[in-house]
Amino acid sequence: MTAPDAAAWSGRPVSVVLAGGGTAGHTSPLVATAQELLRIAPGTRVTAVGTARGLETTVVPAAGLTLELVPPVPLPRRPGPDLLRVPGRLAASVGAAADVLRRTGADVAVGFGGYVSTPVYLAARRLGVPVVVHEQNALPGLANRLAARLTHDVFTSFPGTPLAHATLIGLPLRREIADLDRPAARASARAAFDLGPDRPTLLVSGGSQGAASINGAARGAADDLLRAGISVLHVLGPKNVAASDVRRTDEATGATYVPVAYVERMEQAYAAADLMLGRCGAGTVLETATVGLPSVFVPYPHGNGEQARNAAPVVDAGGGLLLDDAACTAGWVAAEVPALLGDPARLAAMTTALGGIARRDAATVLARRTLAVAAGSASRTGRKER
């Protein structure tokens, strides 16, 4: 269970703006923190800021939160005309973010990184609104590296994240995940996906957007896994579902392949599974560690190597395996997954190794610090219009 609160929030009602979007890596901790803010201090005005192109347009309203949109400011990967447009786009986005901060009477801006956080950070600095930063990944992105220079309230999910003034608190998790009892929830979770109750089950997910290499390997190995009596819950990503991705059951073993585009309640997917094959974004690594689900992590092969760094604490402890993207093939999955799922003692040892890696109270810690910063800001400004 998550750590209980020492007491209900007794401060005055405040206004909190939370920025983060694009993928579940940013939206999930944002939603978890927002929900904890409202649980601790129900009078809090909570507003999320995102862009029209991100996952936040669906998951934030679905969580019952107010969402404000600002123009996205993507950074081109190569020099060209788009690079010349960045200053103008950034200015427009900062202006839109400043408008949100003014209209909501923001007492604090909390950022989780990504495209949308930079304009919110800069607008907050312009208006004198204090900033709180949470970095999900072991290696920080550009937005949070910038923001760490603007505030001493910087929090991280992993030890050793290179950000100034950083305090390790873990990753804010929704209570449905932080408090999940996988064995107790297994039967109902498998029923929710119409999976057989007694079949070993592999969960496959390339993150909220999916991953081509992982999807290809799982598709290619699916029939072999079914023949081995292993059911597969395959989360493909909303844009990756093909006409050939259909539910099917092996008549001899009763194992079932269940392809889905997206899972909103990932705690159900975790509870249904005995093993996961997936990318190693911060959310996946720390959520599976929290619920005790052994995993095979396949780091995204591009970028700054943050995903392999994310997985390192789990892999080093023996709670997961690291598999290169190039090695993630249908042949590997067909051969190695049945071997893993056929070794209950090894799976049990991996689950045991996951104990204590992830903190369950990060959302509470971040929410309480945010409320404290906001209360100080409200007191200093007397809630005068900015």
pLDDT digits (tens, 9 = 90+) for 153-166: 999 999 999 998 89
More confident: 211 or 279: 279
Query: pLDDT tens, 29-83?
Result: 999 999 999 999 999 999 999 988 888 888 899 999 999 999 877 665 555 565 5
- Residue 67 pairs in a beta bridge with 48
pLDDT at 88: 73
Closest CA to 374 of 18, 7, 3: 18
233 — phi, psi (to 5°)?
-105, 110
Dist. CA 75–CA 235, nearest whole Å: 29
Domain with residues 181-354, CATH architecture: 3-Layer(aba) Sandwich (3.40)
DSSP character at residue 42: T
Question: How high is the mean pLDDT of the chain?
Answer: 90
Query: pLDDT tens, 318-376?
Result: 999 999 999 999 999 999 999 999 999 999 999 999 998 999 999 999 999 999 999 98
Closest CA to 67 of 52, 85, 83, 79: 52
pLDDT at 264: 85
CATH 3.40.50.2000, the chain: domain bounds: 15-175+360-381, 181-354
Dist. CA 277–CA 311, nearest whole Å: 13
Pick the CATH number of 15-175+360-381 from 3.40.50.10190, 3.40.50.300, 3.40.50.2000, 3.40.50.720: 3.40.50.2000
Query: pLDDT tens, 282-321?
Result: 999 999 999 999 999 999 888 778 899 999 999 999 999 9
For 17, the token pair is: 């703006």
Q: Binding site for UDP-N-acetyl-alpha-D-glucosamine: residue ranges?
A: 23-25, 137, 174, 208, 307
Query: pLDDT tens, 83-142?
Result: 556 677 778 899 999 999 999 999 999 999 888 899 999 999 999 999 999 999 999 988
Report the predicted TM-score, pTM, of the whole model to 2 decimal places: 0.89
Dist. CA 18–CA 10, nearest whole Å: 21
Q: Binding site: residue ranges?
A: 23-25, 137, 174, 208, 307
Dist. CA 253–CA 32, nearest whole Å: 39
Q: Is residue 275 a contact partner of residue 247, using CB atoms and an 8 Å limit?
A: no
Dist. CA 384–CA 234, nearest whole Å: 51
pLDDT at 385: 47
Does 240 have pLDDT greater than 60? yes
Q: Is residue 233 a contact partner of residue 260, using CB atoms and an 8 Å limit?
A: yes
